[in-house]
Copies of this chain bind each other. A is one copy, B any other.
């Protein structure tokens, strides 16, 4: 057993590189489907139903003026609709049109497909572990898979 303390690619650098790669895949797919990456991202965020501008601002981390522009252009292209919120007449909800829905789904699918290809032969077990680890990072708290679930029985694969 060699010491596994091999600093292959530092963890954080790996994350950065991965982000870069994913972004490129996203850009490539969007381009092919005649969407901008930002539009594709927006569409993907709306699949579960209409969302208010403020919430979008939070999840996209954009200035509200930037979002206005993004939504404007998406609306002009018929991908998205603004509906006035009935309870709060200042607010509005952004929802997908039929076309927007299709375009979003298509983009999401293709991105997933390509990432699958890139992940290649990464074994299922490792995929799951990675997904869980990422889940932990995303949720802002440590992944606790060891509390029984997925990671149990993981026999030192490294």
Contact = CB atoms under 8 A, between A and B. Distances in A.
Interface of A: 2-4, 6, 8-24, 26-27, 41, 61, 111-112, 115-116, 118-123, 125-143, 145-146, 148-152, 154, 157-158
B130 A11 contact: yes
A130 B4 contact: no
A66 B150 CA distance: 45
Contacts of A154: 8-9
A130 B11 CA distance: 8
Main secondary structure of the interface of A (DSSP, over half): helix
Contacts of A61: 24, 27
Contact of A128 (B2, B4, B149, B150): B4
13 contacts: A8-B154, A11-B116, A11-B119, A15-B134, A120-B140, A120-B142, A121-B142, A126-B145, A129-B133, A130-B130, A130-B133, A132-B158, A145-B158
Nearest to A18: B134
B6 A149 contact: yes
In this complex, the member of A13, A130, A140, A154 whose beta carbon has the largest number of chain B beta carbons within 10 angstroms is A130
Nearest to A6: B149
A11 B91 CA distance: 35
Given A3-B139, A6-B149, A15-B22, 19 more contacts: A8-B128, A8-B132, A8-B154, A11-B119, A14-B130, A18-B19, A122-B133, A122-B142, A122-B143, A125-B158, A126-B129, A126-B143, A126-B145, A127-B133, A128-B158, A129-B158, A132-B158, A145-B158, A148-B158
